[in-house]
A and B are shown apart, each in its own frame.
Chain A
């Protein structure tokens, strides 16, 4: 498969009164054609900011200070955020679906106005053709009687329906990549399942690739082929979904899998929480950011800066000094 997107050493920082917040540090990943990947992490780990950086949607005081984003062979970070080249990519070639369908649609414009705007702008359709296409798209994402609903306002739709509209908007210009940032977090469980299935079917239909940004390990286990685990602005582990779930190697990933309740777990299973708190991203020490919470730590972790991401297997990488596959290194029970 050919590589569609490659992000190399992306750095995004926010300058605040209290210091520089390193939201994204040295993030690299790739995405193949027709692939679904997952970007997993807790709130504040930089997963959303890394995606907004790809789209160049970072506003002051934020700044993309380094790295490259190679899309279809060109480094799109070289384009200015408001340049015509970037505008032709943003929304059209790389589209994004945001977490809150309530706030990401404009409440004073009808669904039709918001949907046709993109078609007219990017695909140069005339008003009539755009409207026809918009109705078609709404039908495809499962909005019943789309013709009658296209002139409704967002508040006339339920949360799930609004997210369907967002999916239709995201795919309206036949993007190569769809980035879904926590696409179903604010929704009910059965609606979540509907929308995730829909999203998977739609990207297949449109022959697009999908990046799912989420904190939900179950969602990526179900849909993603490869995953990237983020912590404190960095990718700490990456690999195929099966490798990461069956042989997690980074202490953070191991900890995460031990601390979530599973629907199919044995009775009496004890959760092992990760003690402590995620770090403050201001003035981070050069050592591993997970170190204060890590139960696998060794002396080297305190002395040397956070290691580079290194392969442990084919296509399986971690950012850690400790060989967690060796039982001798296993942390002692307190």
Chain B
């Protein structure tokens, strides 16, 4: 993983994002919320990496750090060999042409007072991607067609679209500047079951058709993440516990948390369900303000030994391409 690889578009090294907690009259810093605490991974060209975990595990924070919306507390984020974490604001703006974001909620992430064409076309203007009005119009129409919307709907406003269509507008906007990386933050969790597949397929087709497009796919639904991703990273309380190929994740999960997470997700097949291992975890995810010592998972872990509370395990490559952070593996 450390060797230089031209194929890698994004490399995150020991990323930390702490949010200070201020208390009292003088707003003194009393503690840190360690939203992301030492995360390393890389993303190859044309690859989809899934980032999965329960709420509060830091998956969205990572996405925001990569976009430079949060300035990382420590660590570096190398995008095309430039460190986003230390980039000045002006450079960041330029860089955001290359990295786009698709949001979770297609109802609140579109400006209700702008028509669909303006929403999709705005990045083109900001980044001066088009020379004149004709070119702008052509490009917006082309983007509409790319995401499966009729260009005749350009003058409509967001409320006139259904949830699935709105998310298509969000995808078109993300595609506007022809980015090489799109961060998809829970792009389908607000949609109905039968509509979700439409957006998943759209994202897959776009990647197949693009010259070069990587996705960082952030979601809590492991079945969706596994479906769309080449590799999956499982997060818990600011740490990555396991990274591996999607196939191995279901066949050979190694980390006890991954095993519990998998078993918690019911499969839509009563015959499979009859014989599946079911690990029901005790308790709930602890607060990141006051995480347990050592491995943050040890109080809930069914494999924990006393040593687990001593030190934070780091990711080790157990099988080629399969990394796990657990001393019991």
A residues apposed to B, CB below 8 Å: 42-43, 158, 160-161, 188-194, 197, 215-219, 221-223, 241-242, 245-246, 255-257, 259-265, 267, 269-275, 277-278
Contact = CB atoms under 8 A, between A and B. Distances in A.
A174 to B, nearest CB: 25
A259 B285 CA distance: 31
A256 B196 CA distance: 11
A262 B196 CA distance: 13
Nearest to B220: A189
A217 B266 CA distance: 8
B287 to A, nearest CB: 10
Q: Which of B193, B221, B281 has the most CB of A within 10 A?
A: B193
A267 B270 CA distance: 21
Nearest to A293: B194
Chain B interface residue count: which class?
Answer: 35 or more
A193 B280 contact: yes
Interface in B259-301: 260-273, 278, 280-281, 284-285
A242 B271 CA distance: 7
**Most chain B CB neighbours (cut-off 10 Å) among A255, A272, A273:** A273
B268 A262 contact: yes
A194 B196 CA distance: 26
Contacts of A256: 193-194
Interface stretch (B105-113, B173-181, B223-231, B313-321): B223-231
B192 A193 contact: no
A289 to B, nearest CB: 13
Given A158-B284, A189-B220, A241-B270, A260 B264 contact: no
B263 A264 contact: no
A263 B267 contact: yes
Given A261-B227, A263-B262, A269-B227, A245 B269 contact: yes
Contact of B273 (A188, A222, A257, A265): A222
A194 B281 contact: yes
A313 B199 CA distance: 35
A191 B263 CA distance: 12
Interface string B3-17: 000000000000000
A216 B223 CA distance: 12
Contact of A190 (B197, B223, B260, B270): B260
B55 interface: yes
Contacts of B221: 189
A197 B226 contact: no
Given A219-B266, A245-B271, A261 B224 contact: yes
A257 to B, nearest CB: 7
A190 B193 contact: no
Interface of B: 54-55, 162, 164, 192-198, 200-201, 220-224, 226-228, 246-247, 250, 260-273, 278, 280-281, 284-285
Contact of A215 (B192, B200, B222, B264): B192
Contacts, number: 129
A270 B221 CA distance: 18
A271 B197 CA distance: 6
A242 B269 CA distance: 8
Given A263-B223, A271-B200, A221 B192 contact: no
Contacts of B220: 188-189
A201 to B, nearest CB: 11
A265 B227 contact: yes
B229 to A, nearest CB: 11
Contacts of B197: 259-261, 271-274
A296 to B, nearest CB: 15
B147 to A, nearest CB: 14
23 contacts: A42-B192, A43-B192, A189-B265, A190-B285, A191-B54, A193-B265, A193-B281, A194-B280, A217-B193, A217-B268, A221-B267, A222-B266, A245-B269, A245-B270, A260-B193, A261-B226, A261-B228, A262-B267, A263-B250, A265-B227, A271-B200, A274-B197, A277-B195
Contact of B264 (A161, A193, A259, A267): A193
Contact of B227 (A221, A246, A271, A272): A271
Which of B220, B263, B267 lies at the interface centre, i.e. has the most chain A CB atoms within 10 A of its CB? B267
Contacts of B194: 42, 255-256, 259, 273-274, 278
A259 B193 contact: yes
Contacts of A267: 246-247
5 shortest A-B CB distances, which residue pairs?
A: A218-B266, A261-B227, A193-B264, A273-B197, A259-B197
Contacts of B54: 188-191
Given A193-B263, A216-B266, 11 more contacts: A188-B220, A188-B285, A189-B265, A190-B281, A191-B284, A193-B280, A221-B273, A260-B197, A262-B223, A262-B268, A277-B164
Residue from B221, B222, B270 having most chain A Cβ neighbours under 10 A: B270
Contacts of B192: 42-43, 215, 278
Nearest to A270: B201
Contact of A221 (B195, B224, B270, B281): B270
